[in-house]
Homo-oligomer: A and B are copies of this chain.
């Protein structure tokens, strides 16, 4: 990954639908090698995909919650059942294994407080071995970036 690859990644994070001609112009290459670099980055897994960014509110999900969860015990069954349910539940967008007071932190979206309550009661609390659930609601968004500040790297 050299400086041109880094510029390609930056540009495609800023606008994932740039045409190859626009991209080539922006990174200072002719279209042909530019496209080849993009395909290489995709094949290498550096670029994992492309997605449309949508307005949560306009799509009916005005509520974002960050939820910290502790498990009573980390038996294989409990962990597997928990992570399987996470994967299946579309309203749970992210789930990280965390250091510190909680085992997991989830980012969850909901259509309403009632909707969120249903999710907690019917999906999360029913899982075996949940020790605690601590919810914080986001009442404002200061920043929401999906652009990793890529610079030149050695290796890969």
The residues of A with any CB-CB pair to B shorter than 8 Å are 1, 9, 12-17, 44-56, 58-61, 64, 66, 83, 86-87, 90-102, 104-105, 109, 134-151, 153, 156
Contacts and interface: CB of A to CB of B under 8 A. Distances in A.
Give how many copies assemble into the complex.
Answer: 2
Given A16-B17, A96-B142, A109-B148, A49 B55 contact: no
Contacts of A45: 55, 58
Contacts of A97: 138-142
A7 to B, nearest CB: 13
B16 A52 contact: yes
Contacts of A96: 64, 66, 138, 140-142
A26 B136 CA distance: 38
B52 A98 contact: no
Contacts of A135: 100
A149 B90 contact: yes
Contact of A52 (B50, B92, B141): B50
Residue of A53, A100, A148, A150 ringed by the most chain B CB atoms within 10 A: A148
A77 to B, nearest CB: 16
A112 B61 CA distance: 35
